[in-house]
Amino acid sequence: MKKLIITLSITLVILVIVYLAYSLLRPMLSPCESIFQQTSLRLGSKLDIIKTKGEVFIGEEKIQDLTERSQMTALNLKTCCIVLDGGKVSSDEFLRCKENAEKYETQIERIVTDVNEAQTAKQQGKTEVVNEKVVQINEIINVAQASADNLSKQVTELKGSPSVEKTDNRKSSQGGNEEEPNNTAFEANLIPMDTTISGEISSQDDKDYFKFQNNSNLRDLVKVNFLNKSTKLTPISLFMTKIRHRS
């Protein structure tokens, strides 16, 4: 019994170490995930200050809106990075995404500054200064919302562009949509390189098989990119993959 407890304890420690190592290495393995995490952390720390000190000046509803837009800004910047990494847009497009995200973050920083100043003025009994700061904060919130909306619009256009996504219904060997049945290796869809395929995981037990075909000299690297098109973290989701090779 004692040996069993020791074994279980050691196993638990190993699992914790593996999980922590994975958490630390994941951003290094995925630059887009690193961008998402860094943006989320920066915006999250600023929003914590706004939630703690700014509700009396801004209101709960507007703070909730800023929180949701902050989450979408981080996700949109990650999506823009994924699209760039897939070779579907130029670096200039990504820089535009980054610029809109930075504009939003700058406005959030300004809100934090004004909230702190409004709180100090309130403690000092300077009602007129407090009122001025409240007006200024609301103006900045409008600018921040515009920056977040611009980024969302840009990412939507990138995702919907023909260069990003194909929606034709030709056979999977020509690109387009996954074709069922492909639930075993013997039924695998044949996919050429440099092709975009849309597919769906229909249930938790669903398995989809694909076979990649290359008609030219293949060297060095084969890269497969997955883009999750579902807005929910469920096993029933759409995906799109782009298979590319570099020589």
pLDDT confidence tier of residue 180, bands split at 50, 70 and 90: confident
User: Are 234 and 144 in the same domain?
Assistant: no
> 124 CB contacts (<8 Å, ≥6 apart)?
none
- Reported as a single tens digit per residue, the pLDDT across 62-113 is 999 999 999 999 989 888 888 776 666 667 788 888 899 999 999 999 999 9
pLDDT confidence tier of residue 246, bands split at 50, 70 and 90: very low
pLDDT confidence tier of residue 36, bands split at 50, 70 and 90: confident
In terms of Cβ atoms closer than 10 Å to its own Cβ (0-12, 13-18, 19+), residue 196 is buried
Query: Looking at 53-57, 210-214, 232-236, 241-245, which range is the least confident one?
Result: 241-245
pTM: 0.55
Tell me the sheet residues that pair with 191.
212
User: Are 152 and 72 in the same domain?
Assistant: yes
Q: Is residue 167 part of a domain?
A: no
Q: Is residue 76 part of a domain?
A: yes
Domain of 138, CATH number, reads 1.20.120
Which is higher by pLDDT, 129 or 186?
129
User: Are 130 and 190 in the same domain?
Assistant: no
pLDDT confidence tier of residue 135, bands split at 50, 70 and 90: very high
Q: C-alpha angle 36/242/236, rounded to 5°?
A: 70
CA distances from 15 to 22, 23, 231 (A): 10, 12, 30
Nearest to 192 by CA among 157, 218, 167, 169: 218
Q: Is residue 148 part of a domain?
A: yes
Structural domain containing residue 140 = 29-160
Nearest to 151 by CA among 112, 99, 193: 99
Which is higher by pLDDT, 126 or 225?
126
**CA 182 from chain center: how many Å?**
29
User: Are 34 and 152 in the same domain?
Assistant: yes
Query: What's the distance, Cα to Cα, between the start and end of the chain in Å?
Result: 57
